[in-house]
Amino acid sequence: MSEQVMTRDQVTREHSAAPAQTARSTQANRISGGFVDRARTLRFTWNGKQLEGHPGDTLASALIANGVRLVGRSFKYHRPRGIFSAGSEEPNALVQLRRGAAQEPNTRATTVELFDGLHATSQNHRGSLEHDLMAVNDLLSPFLTAGFYYKTFMWPKSFWEKVYEPAIRASAGLGRLSGEPDPDVYDHGFLHCDLLIIGAGPAGLAAALAAGRAGLRVILADEDFRLGGRLNSETYTVDDMFGADWAARTVAELGSMENVRVMPRTTVYGAFDHGIYGALERKTDHLPSSDGRPRQVLWRVYSRRALLTAGATERSIAFGNNDRPGVMLAGAVRTYVNRFGATPGRRVAVFTNNDDGWRTARDLAARGVEIAAVIDSRGSGPQQTDGLRVERGRRIIDTAGRKGLKSITLDNGARIDADCLAVAGGWSPNVHLTCHMRGRPVWRDDIAAFVPGGDLPPGMVVAGAANGTMTLAAALRDGHEAAGKIAADLGRAPGSGSAPRASDEAFAITPLWHVGESRKRAWIDQQNDVTTKDVRQSHMDGFRAVEHLKRYTTLGMATDQGKTANILGLAVMAEITGRTIPETGTTIFRPPFTPVPIGAFAGRARGKDFRPYRLTPSHKWAAEQGATFVTTGMWLRAQWFARPGEKGWRDSVDREVRMTRSSVGICDVTTLGKIDIQGRDAAEFLNRVYANAFKKLAVGKVRYGLMLREDGFAYDDGTTARLSETHFVMTTTTANAVLVFRNLEFARQCLWPDLDVHLISTTDGWAQFAVAGPNSRALLSKVVDNVDLSNEAFPFMACTECTVFGGTPARLFRISFSGELAYEIAVPARYGDAMIRGLMKAGEEFDVVPYGTEALGVMRIEKGHAAGNEINGQTTAAMLGMGGMVSKKKDSIGSKLSERPEMNREDDLRLVGFHPVDRSMQLNAGAHFLNKGDPADMAHDQGWMTSVAYSPELGHSVGLGFLKRGQDRMGEIVRAYDPVRGKDYEVRVVAPQHIDPEGKRQHA
Amino acid sequence: MIINHPLLGPRDMAEFVYKGDVCLIDRPDGMQEGIEAFHDYLHLRDNPAGEHRELWYHEQGDRSWLVVTRNTLTHEITDVALARDVARERGRTR
């Protein structure tokens, strides 16, 4: 026996300054000692009952102090359950926290910091917690074993969705969401450090001290609000001080170092590539309200090295009825007594297979808690019994007490009365983060546990209990030395100071996983109600590999991910199959270590901030006009400009089209991609990226260009203007602006690295407006300085650099998407607002009208121009009627594969126009074409309608679409069939140019 | 992942766009080669479990195309080069 246990006198002297109980306190189980601030009382509500606790409490410790034992119902059998652990591994004490929209289900009471006004309720019961109507499931348990659903609810098949699943969901489950939007805000953040230390227990603190003194930039993160790990739960001595005091002093010293960032309430939940770690910091969860501050911050930590000092988690032992309220992990019982000054029981029994369990008996006895017995499954164990009743070589086979433990029964038939049973099954190192990449834990017989093994995440080192170093002095040394090695590795001289001094406590263990003599159900995974019987069932049904065992029984698949349970399950499976535990192996741990709220992952990317959007230069002006806006790609664009008296969007759009075609209209077309292309080889470059010829485009001219993908399908289109011998301006569609630029850069850097050509995106740099309609020339003549706009001097497809309004730089292009006499005029974006106001003022005498994206679409459909509906990645140049444009005299992107025979069949689809035979009929996009008299099936499919609009000029609906051999079928009547919308009507095949097929207007 | 940009130093993966195997640099000459050659260029790739040379584009940065040598099993990156330099090494000019 080498362990250092402080005497009761010492503990009391140092930590019992405040009286044990205040007058009229609700806290019957509050005892002396611990780190709660008794000077202040916090009031909270549990299932409608007013209770009291203190700062420093968790909800769980406050409930224990108040003598609350029953806190929830189990997932499947609705068994009464109590608090089982004192940390994030808690399987049972899941509660609904807060009220209204802020309500949070499945919160672990063991990690919730108590605050004044906290409101919590139990979950997963019908009726009251004490009298859960669903507890009948427990009586049905012989039928509800593993695989029950798979076998039972197979027939009739149609019953699964409508009957079985809703019934199962209603009876099994966890807490409930509020159904309202989350009222809190969440943030994302980025941190950089030399060394990230995960866990602030003895090893982590010793490491942080050494690394901090060596000058490394250190982040020390711990999920707890009080740092120190087990030092706060035990009665250790470090550097001749009480362990918890040493921890507090060390944290204070670390806090004073500028190169160390101490992050309590921060869970490092995942290890990712290249030293990147995910961490969740709970900023305001311990406060009554966030007050507008971020509730939680999701950090991405970039580290050069990481040190995992995450400690170990205690595990249980499977024996009959081991899930009653009052049956707890032995280390957790010590935590409640030593750290929180709250005892889970008045008469406590200890069941252990190792020396560590004895600490619970000694610590509790030292604090005046009665110890019913220490049941050590080993024949051996400590010889010094300190007057405790000791049952050596005995096992517990059953317990009694419906809503809370009353007694235990040993394998010799002896019954021992106890209201709390502390179970010590040994400790499992928290290896989780070592497995997030390729690590595979390896078994160590001496401590009966898995320790980190295989390939750890690069840059990660493990120390302390997480690495299987289970005793105090060794863990402190391990952390100190690991930090020193890392500092040396990063080129730093080690700081002064040696490892903190302490003694090593006894830590002998003889594994006992389950008590075979038990006839009663013995729980392995309490949260998912998996018993030893389920593991046997899984084995019988052939699911023997651990990964199969997990999925068949749901072992370890609950919110606690089986932190206290997995090892029991695989140990039982190992025993049944006659294999060793390492042969049986473990399932793979994946992020997150503990649950991370979806809201934290979303951060600020919610609602309108889900995706950024950009405003056009005329947005403010358009908003003043009462425009309706629509998202197009990354932009918000005016969709139409309603005027008083207009009853619906069609009224506005029809008017905008009519007024544009009869006089003049203006549309903001800034969103089209603009790419500035310069260099001696610019023309050659364009010739290689466009399917049609570009080399001979004259200066001062614009040309329509068609781009293909390398597989030969149509990709994008637009116009490119030549401003000088070496300077072009390309436009792309709004949707493809980013992608085309990316592909052009690829061609420039990777395919033809020595062409003299440079690219820059100027989409945002220039505000551009379409000015369309018969009066567009007259309007622009008032605006443009010194440019002869006559048809002779500035014909269709001309372009020039010029100035407007007496000196503002501008670019003018005579191009037309509407089919009218039209121009596009561009000015530097900062003049965009002034430009739209100037254009509108200049156009007053022509009754100028602004038009939105809807009128733009109507006019392009009337004119027969292809857009995104037609160039959708499945169509070829030939289908679009542009097969002849693809030059065979040069090599351009996609030209070779566009020659494939299947893409050039004479009987292929062709873009044509459609009119309804019944002119009052509204066409609809998506309808498929059939020859009259043919059955409506895919074998007789003749193509489909891509775009439709009501043409104010023609007075009826018009459409564009792809029809087999469409170019040869003008005048033919085909059937338009749309089973999705229940439509079936006849259409006449016409040319795609519904208006002005000769192009007289745009050439006027 | 962190990509050590040859000009800008270590940058987060989020700034980049992935394209694919470095062999996409080796585009056939459409005036010399036929449909089959283009088919192979466009569609045939090795899928190695291990070292892979691949194209990444620094779209949220300086718009360099990079050739990154990455182990597909461990994500270890052992080399990053400007794609333009690699293209020249592979015989591409104008």
Give yes or no for a contact between A74 and A66, defined as CB atoms under 8 angstroms apart: no
Give the chain B residue nearest A890 (alpha carbons): B31
Nearest CB to A755: which of B57, B75, B94?
B94
Radius of gyration of chain A (CA): 38
User: Would an 8 Å CB–CB cutoff place A446 in contact with chain B?
Assistant: no
Nearest CB to B88: which of A274, A437, A753?
A753
CATH of the domain at B59: 3.30.2270.10
Residue B55 lies in a domain: yes
Residue B39 lies in a domain: yes
Report d(CA B82, CA A745) in Å as an integer: 13
Minimum distance, in Å, between the CA of residue A618 and any CA atom of chain B:
26
As to burial, measured by CB atoms within 10 angstroms (0-12 exposed, 13-18 middle, 19+ buried), residue A429 is buried
Q: Do B74 and A711 touch (CB under 8 A)?
A: no
CA nearest to A585, candidates A528, A532, A535, A544: A544
Minimum distance, in Å, between the CA of residue A580 and any CA atom of chain B:
29
Among all chains, which residue has been given the structure tokens 């209990």? A465
Residues 651-690 (A) with a CB less than 8 A from some CB of B: 681
Around A586, how many Cα atoms within 13 Å sit in the side-chain half-sphere? Answer: 25
Residue B17 lies in a domain: yes
Buried/exposed code over A612-635 (b: 16+ C-beta within 10 A; e: otherwise):
eeeebbbbebbeeeebebeebbeb
Q: Which portions of chain A are predicted below pLDDT 70?
A: 1-24, 148-155, 160, 168-173
What's the structural domain count of chain B?
A: 1
Report d(CA A982, CA A936) in Å as an integer: 13
Give yes or no for a contact between A907 and A705, defined as CB atoms under 8 angstroms apart: no
Q: Do A752 and B74 touch (CB under 8 A)?
A: no
pLDDT computed for residue A172 by the predictor? 60
Residue A566, SS3? helix
Report d(CA B23, CA B90) in Å as an integer: 10
Substitution target in A750, A752, A759 with the highest count of B β-carbons within 10 Å is: A750
User: Would an 8 Å CB–CB cutoff place B78 in contact with chain A?
Assistant: no
- The CA-atom distances, in angstroms, between B43 and each of A835, A891, A901, B23, B39 are 48, 19, 18, 11, 6
Q: Do A710 and B25 touch (CB under 8 A)?
A: no
CA nearest to A660, candidates A819, A488, A528: A819
Q: What would the two tokens of residue A16 be?
A: 């019992």
pLDDT computed for residue A2 by the predictor? 38
| Other C-beta atoms lying within 10 Å of the C-beta of residue A499 | 21
CA–CA–CA angle A321, A324, A327 (5° rounding)? 100
| Amino acid in position B20 | G
CA nearest to A288, candidates A46, A103, A98: A98
Q: Do A896 and B2 touch (CB under 8 A)?
A: no
The set of residues, in sequence order, having a beta carbon less than 8 Å from that of A153 and lying 6+ positions away, is: A159, A160, A164, A168
Q: Do B31 and A890 touch (CB under 8 A)?
A: yes
User: Would an 8 Å CB–CB cutoff place A762 in contact with chain B?
Assistant: no
Q: What would the two tokens of residue A765 be?
A: 């740099």
How many helices, marked H, and strands, marked E, lie in chain B? 2, 6
Give yes or no for a contact between A110 and A342, defined as CB atoms under 8 angstroms apart: no
| Amino acid in position A965 | R
User: Would an 8 Å CB–CB cutoff place A745 in contact with chain B?
Assistant: yes
Beta bridge partners of A186: A296
Residue B32 lies in a domain: yes
What number is the ipTM of this complex? Answer: 0.99
Residue-number span of the structural domain to which B56 is assigned: 2-89
CA dihedral of A158, A161, A167, A172, whole degrees rounded to 10: 130
Q: Do A750 and B25 touch (CB under 8 A)?
A: yes
Backbone φ, ψ for residue A231 (5° rounding): -60, -30
Give the chain B residue nearest A277 (alpha carbons): B1
Residue B41 lies in a domain: yes
Q: Do B92 and A273 touch (CB under 8 A)?
A: no
DSSP class per residue in A301-315: EEEEEEEE---EEE-
As to burial, measured by CB atoms within 10 angstroms (0-12 exposed, 13-18 middle, 19+ buried), residue A840 is middle
Q: Which residues of A touch B83 (CB under 8 A)?
A: 749-750
Residue B65, SS3? strand
Residue A680, SS3? coil
Report d(CA A13, CA A467) in Å as an integer: 35
Q: Do B94 and A455 touch (CB under 8 A)?
A: no
Q: Is the peptide bond before A592 cis (omega within 30 degrees of 0)?
A: yes
N-term to C-term CA, chain A: 105
Report d(CA A244, CA A338) in Å as an integer: 10
pLDDT computed for residue A169 by the predictor? 67
Residue B94 lies in a domain: no
Give yes or no for a contact between A699 and A682, defined as CB atoms under 8 angstroms apart: no
pLDDT computed for residue A477 by the predictor? 97
User: Would an 8 Å CB–CB cutoff place A634 in contact with chain B?
Assistant: no
Give yes or no for a contact between A614 and A198, defined as CB atoms under 8 angstroms apart: no
Residue B18 lies in a domain: yes
- Specify the DSSP class assigned to residue A378: S
Report d(CA A425, CA A512) in Å as an integer: 7
Give the chain B residue nearest A276 (alpha carbons): B1
Residue A29, SS3? coil
Among all chains, which residue has been given the structure tokens 């969705």? A161
Report d(CA A977, CA A981) in Å as an integer: 9
Residue A759, SS3? strand
Q: Which residues of B touch A302 (CB under 8 A)?
A: 2
Buried/exposed code over A897-906 (b: 16+ C-beta within 10 A; e: otherwise):
bbbeeebeee
Q: What would the two tokens of residue A717 be?
A: 């289109």
Report d(CA A146, CA A148) in Å as an integer: 5
As to burial, measured by CB atoms within 10 angstroms (0-12 exposed, 13-18 middle, 19+ buried), residue B1 is middle
How many helices, marked H, and strands, marked E, lie in chain A? 23, 53
Residue B47 lies in a domain: yes
Q: Are strands A218-221 and A260-263 parallel, antiparallel or unpaired?
A: parallel
The set of residues, in sequence order, having a beta carbon less than 8 Å from that of A735 and lying 6+ positions away, is: A632, A633, A868
Report d(CA B17, CA A440) in Å as an integer: 32
pLDDT computed for residue A24 by the predictor? 60
N-term to C-term CA, chain B: 33
- Specify the DSSP class assigned to residue A921: P
Please report how the helices A202-213 and A472-489 are oriented relative to each other, as an axis angle in degrees rounded to 10.
30
Q: Which residues of B touch A438 (CB under 8 A)?
A: 73-74
Give the chain B residue nearest A274 (alpha carbons): B1
| Other C-beta atoms lying within 10 Å of the C-beta of residue A497 | 13
Q: What would the two tokens of residue A447 be?
A: 């401590």
Q: Are strands A673-678 and A635-641 parallel, antiparallel or unpaired?
A: unpaired
Which helix (H) or strand (E) is A836 found in, with range? Answer: helix A832-842
Residues 16-35 (B) with a CB less than 8 A from some CB of A: 17, 19, 24-25, 27-31, 33-35
Q: Is the peptide bond before A156 cis (omega within 30 degrees of 0)?
A: yes
Give yes or no for a contact between A981 and A960, defined as CB atoms under 8 angstroms apart: no
